[in-house]
Amino acid sequence: MGGTTPERMLDDPRTVRVTGDDTAAVFRRADDADAERRPGDRRDGPVPEAYVWCNLTSGNGTRALWLLLLPFMVVNLAHWMRPTARGRRRTVRLYGLLVRLAGLSLTVLLVAAACEVALDLAAWQCAGTRTCAEGHSWLGFLSPHLTDGGWWSMPGRRLALAAVVPLALTGLLWYLSLRTWNAYEAQQPLVRAPETGEEGSRSALGRPGFWYGRRLVARLRAAHTAAGLLTVAAAVGSAAAREDRRPGGPALLHVLGVLLGAALVTGAAVIVWVVCRRGRSERRLDSAGDVRLVRLLPLSALALLALSLLYAGWERPGWESAGRLPGDATFGALALAQGLLVIVLAVVARVLHRTDPDRRTAMRGLAGPAVAMLACALGGVMSGGVAQRVSDWLDGTGTSIPGPPVLLTWQASVIPPLLVLLLMLCGWLAHRAWQLARAERAAVASDYPGEATDPHRTRRIAYARAMASLTDRGPRIVAVTSAATLLLGAGALFGALATEKTPGEAARGSHAVVHGAAETAQALGSWLIGLGFILFVTWGRRAYKDASARRTIGILWDVGTFWPRAAHPFAPPCYAERAVPDLTWRIATWTASTGGRLVLSGHSQGSVLAAAAAWQLDPATRKRVALLTYGSPLERLYGRWFPAHFGPDALGKLHEEVDCWRNLYRLTDPIGGPIGLPGDCGPAVDRAPLKDPLAYGRTPTHPLPAPILGHSDYQSDPAYTEERHRLLTRLHPELPTPRAPKTPTEPTP
């Protein structure tokens, strides 16, 4: 299995598709297309098949826009980073509830940022100010100064028209989630009848409904869409309600405003209730649709939005826009709520970790809260930076309009000090790599005894090993970055609430160095977010177009989109909800029809899919499967960061349930590593680290300098062929012949 072309995977230019479609399919060599029907004519050796799933995670350049959903993907990852726990069912559910609430806050934050840009900065402030409106002719028809009181110049009608922007954003997120939901979550996994004496796997990935999140994502999509619509309704209606509360205002409109506010609060409470409910069962194939909820919740929110637009657009003589929209406190409340959610989540994660401690778990069980903090920080920085950048564009002088809420300016201003910290961490990593490279030189010399010493060659190999080992420093980097983000975010919130001024204004009158630093951070923050947006899209597009860039960026993206959308429905879709059912169906139907056995071979992320597919098989079929993994992040990344699903118990159980499992890795590989399981249940899993390069200098076998392969080309190593042959011999020495499948053993669709 792999994410490359079938011709390269099978090492043959002539391949045929056995089953599947243009998105994901199983291929064979043309000569092996009907190997089962010609057992006597087959060539020596196994019949290889390649499951090609690259189009699930890559495609045209438009998928680079998925990077804009990065905060949603990151918070969804935090959901699956829960520590292993025993006998803490309620605490586990509380952990998931807190992450889902954090995900909901990110949706509200994104839509609120769009409201800030379109409603507050453009329609309320700029269109309501003569100087700003004159500088932007496209806002002229909204300006009361340039149209002599035109119909659209009333503040409420300006807001109602500008609400099209956040409404379109919410609709786009709903559409993308619905489209990918039909393509990914709708793939039904293999259904099998329980067998007598079957023991459940210790990983939740083996549960029948784990890879079928259709019901949960539909519920969350309805709730998050409704939350976005209600956010727009509140932004439009709150300004009109404040105007109606002034002395002498129309009593009828005041009553309508109170009723509308009560309806919005009730809708928000219903949304929170829906998000707090887990919404599905993994222990069975949950095909319930919750049709009424999925349809009525967004439609009700849309109706409230329509009422808010009508209410705000009602005639109100003498109403003028001044200052900022009455919604500044929203961003402060969101920041405070997110910080409290992360702190409580950290307490819950720590309690879970203490029930079943594992020293290999990243950050002692706090990886989930740390990643959730980074997701909230990404959302805050992106929203604050975009708002500040649009404000600078609309008001070049910085004097005609008040600008965005001061909290957003403070949040954008923390980007420069955060980048300084990241540069310091990079410097520490570089120094650590230099130290490790020096220590590795002696080990390199001992791995190639009898070779003529070449200092340059030794340094290159030692440096490759040192750089690969930096992956294990990832938890420390995430911990420091997350803690600094929490402190900087708290400082930004406190500064905004205490001064009610931008950092530059708050520092005015202080020491020249302090004032200069505040002004510089504020100016750089808005520009850096614009530069970051451009780099985001550029790198994302390159990752989908360029194979070399994909090897660098792709592993992080593959990890992020491997997991089901259990915490946020607007995250990029989970490709494993298509890939894992594909593999289990292929394995189960082939073994049922031929009675044969197979070696499931997976490289890098393919090894994770192989393990997930093996967990989904019934015990009898699983015993017909041997695993061969190489360059595998199963323990090094997944086992440490996702201990509840890939911890030692889960991997050890998988080792017992399959026929045999062998793993290959290199010390120069920054992604793959050993599985680290004992061999008391059969052959040991890990082979000794492969030599990389295969030859130190020029030899008769390698007359040209052998390259340092790192994470690539494991199949070119003789150890791969040797281990595959051992597994095939252990499983069965002969190719199975076709047989008529028995109806009771066929998998149920």
Quickly count: other Cβ atoms within 10 Å of residue 700's Cβ.
6
pLDDT at position 739 is 47
Per DSSP, 693 falls in state S
pLDDT at position 596 is 80
Q: Which backbone phi and psi does 355 adopt, to 5 degrees?
A: -75, -30
pLDDT digits (tens, 9 = 90+) for 206-228: 888 888 888 889 999 999 999 99
pLDDT at position 746 is 39
Select from 52, 465, 71, 96 the least CA-distant residue to 277.
Answer: 96
Amino acid at 221: R
Select from 139, 159, 499, 150 the least CA-distant residue to 324.
Answer: 159
Contact by Cβ (8 Å): 167, 114? no
pLDDT at position 499 is 87
Dihedral sign for Cα 91, 95, 98, 104, please.
negative
197 — pLDDT class (breaks 50, 70, 90) = very low
Distance CA 163, CA 160 (A): 5
CB < 8 Å & 24+ apart, contacts of 607-611: 607/631, 607/632, 607/633, 607/634, 608/562, 608/632, 608/633, 608/634, 608/638, 609/1, 609/53, 609/576, 609/579, 609/580, 609/583, 610/1, 610/583, 611/205, 611/646, 611/651, 611/654
Token duo for residue 362:
């990243």
Contact by Cβ (8 Å): 686, 651? no
Dihedral sign for Cα 707, 554, 668, 676, please.
negative
Mean pLDDT of the 358-369 span? 91
Is the pLDDT assigned to residue 734 strictly greater than 70?
A: no
Distance CA 675, CA 687 (A): 10
Whether the bond into 326 is cis, omega within 30 of 0: no
Contact by Cβ (8 Å): 346, 366? yes
Contact by Cβ (8 Å): 285, 209? yes
pLDDT digits (tens, 9 = 90+) for 267-310: 999 999 999 987 677 777 777 777 888 899 999 999 999 999 99
pLDDT at position 551 is 52
Q: Which residue has the higher pLDDT, 604 or 61?
A: 604
Token duo for residue 475:
């938890």
> Which element (helix H / strand E) includes 624?
none
Q: Output the CA–CA distances (angstroms, integers) from residue 492 to 103, 335, 405, 410, 485, in the order listed.
A: 21, 10, 12, 5, 10
Q: Which residue has the higher pLDDT, 143 or 568?
A: 568
CA 568 to chain centre: 10
- Percent of the chain clearing pLDDT 70 (strictly above): 89
662 — pLDDT class (breaks 50, 70, 90) = very high
Q: Where are the alpha helices (DSSP H) in 595-717?
A: 605-616, 619-622, 640-641, 643-646, 648-657
Q: Which of 27-36, 192-201, 506-515, 691-700 has the lowest mean pLDDT?
A: 192-201
Q: Which backbone phi and psi does 49 adopt, to 5 degrees?
A: -125, 150
Is the pLDDT assigned to residue 485 strictly greater than 90?
A: yes
Mean pLDDT in the chain? Answer: 85
Distance CA 99, CA 567 (A): 6
Token duo for residue 268:
């928000």
Distance CA 541, CA 556 (A): 15
Q: What is the dihedral of CA 503, 507, 511, 512, to 10 degrees?
A: 60
Is the pLDDT assigned to residue 48 strictly greater than 80?
A: yes
pLDDT at position 193 is 56
Mean pLDDT of the 438-459 span? 88
pLDDT at position 735 is 45
Burial of 255 (0-12, 13-18, 19+ CB in 10 A): exposed
- Dmax (CA) for the chain in angstroms is 98
Select from 328, 111, 93 the least CA-distant residue to 226.
Answer: 111
607 — pLDDT class (breaks 50, 70, 90) = very high
Beta strands in 625-697 (DSSP E): 625-630, 660-664
Contacts of residue 55, defined as CB under 8 A and 6 or more positions apart, other chains included, come to 22, 23, 24
Question: Which residues are registered as beta bridge partners of 599?
Answer: 626
CA 608 to chain centre: 16
Contacts of residue 687, defined as CB under 8 A and 6 or more positions apart, other chains included, come to 662, 663, 664, 719, 723
Distance CA 373, CA 43 (A): 56
- Percent of the chain clearing pLDDT 90 (strictly above): 42
Start-to-end CA distance of the chain, whole Å, equals: 24
Select from 135, 295, 221 the least CA-distant residue to 566.
Answer: 221
740 — pLDDT class (breaks 50, 70, 90) = very low
- Model-level pTM? 0.89
321 — pLDDT class (breaks 50, 70, 90) = confident
pLDDT at position 547 is 52
Token duo for residue 94:
């509380």
pLDDT digits (tens, 9 = 90+) for 49-79: 999 887 777 655 555 566 778 899 999 999 9
pLDDT at position 178 is 87
Contact by Cβ (8 Å): 375, 382? no
pLDDT at position 569 is 93
Is the pLDDT assigned to residue 351 strictly greater than 90?
A: yes
